[in-house]
Amino acid sequence: MTTRPSLHTSLSPALVHLYDVNNSIVVIIDVLRATSTIATALYNGAKCVIPVDSVSRCIELGRQIEGITAGERDGKIAEGLENGNSPFEYPREFVEGKTLVLTTTNGTRLLHMALERGAKEIITGSFPNLSAVCDHLIEMKRHVVLGCAAWKDKVNMEDALFAGAVISRMREHFDINCDSSHMAEAMYEKGKKDLFAFIKKNNASHYHRLMKFGLEKDIRYCLTADQANVLPFYSEGKLIVKSSTA
């Protein structure tokens, strides 16, 4: 009877091989802060975002294409780069029409894994573009893998919370036989009234790490829905905006 597509959540890149990536749309989730910043830069008119996995590659590519180079190590702009990872560094007046070359380790690695496994389509998800992601997935009616970038393969709370937020909105459109998804949703339902308070109370490791760097404003923004509601779509090495009515 059911003709609904399936939905699975991979809580870590180390688990992504368990899912049928090659038959699915993969959503790359790196809430604090890569995918939130990607959505924000594109929402504010960046031509595209090129995710790279190292500072040296970022510097090299930035020179070649005259892009903005961005990335952090230990909470500071990485040596040789121009900008950091905060979404607040990419207002329209700065980023419009430009190409952002962004180093991210966990998210870029997962993206490459999804590519190698033949994902049908790769998009990025974060609270700032939650609705765009959900609208697109519901419309496409294809199998979905929600891929949490995690932190050096260790499961993290904020990426799982975003997976839970997506599932909470899309539950009736998908066939979900996946405990990770149900756990993420249950956690999101518990925390959704105040996600900032939830990750604080539950001692999320990135909460502590970013608060130490004075980035409360970043965390709050990255946990707020639909402030940069575009759909970043991966194509030929770049993330570009795709209309949610594909």
Residues that bind a copy of itself (CB under 8 A): 11-12, 14-15, 18, 151-157, 160, 176-180, 182-183, 185-187, 190-191, 198, 202-205
Q: How far is CA 128 from each of CA 18, 37, 71, 105, 190, rounded to the nearest angstrom?
A: 28, 9, 19, 20, 20
d(C-alpha 23, C-alpha 130), whole Å: 22
Of 55, 75, 43, 122, the residue nearest 219 (C-alpha):
75
Closest approach, Cβ 71 to a copy of itself, in A, equals 23
- In the complex, the smallest distance separating the C-beta of residue 15 from a copy of itself, rounded to whole angstroms, is 6
Choice between 89 and 159, CB closer to a copy of itself: 159
- Report the nearest approach of a copy of itself to the CB of residue 175 (Å): 11
Of 94 and 213, the one with the shorter C-beta distance to a copy of itself is 213
Q: Measuring CA to CA, which residue among 1, 37, 45, 7 is closest to residue 24?
A: 7
Contact 126, 39 (CB under 8 A): yes
In the complex with a copy of itself, the residue whose CB is nearer, 96 or 175, is 175
Smallest gap from residue 41 Cβ to a copy of itself (A): 27
Nearer to a copy of itself, 71 or 191 (CB): 191
CA distance 119 to 128: 23
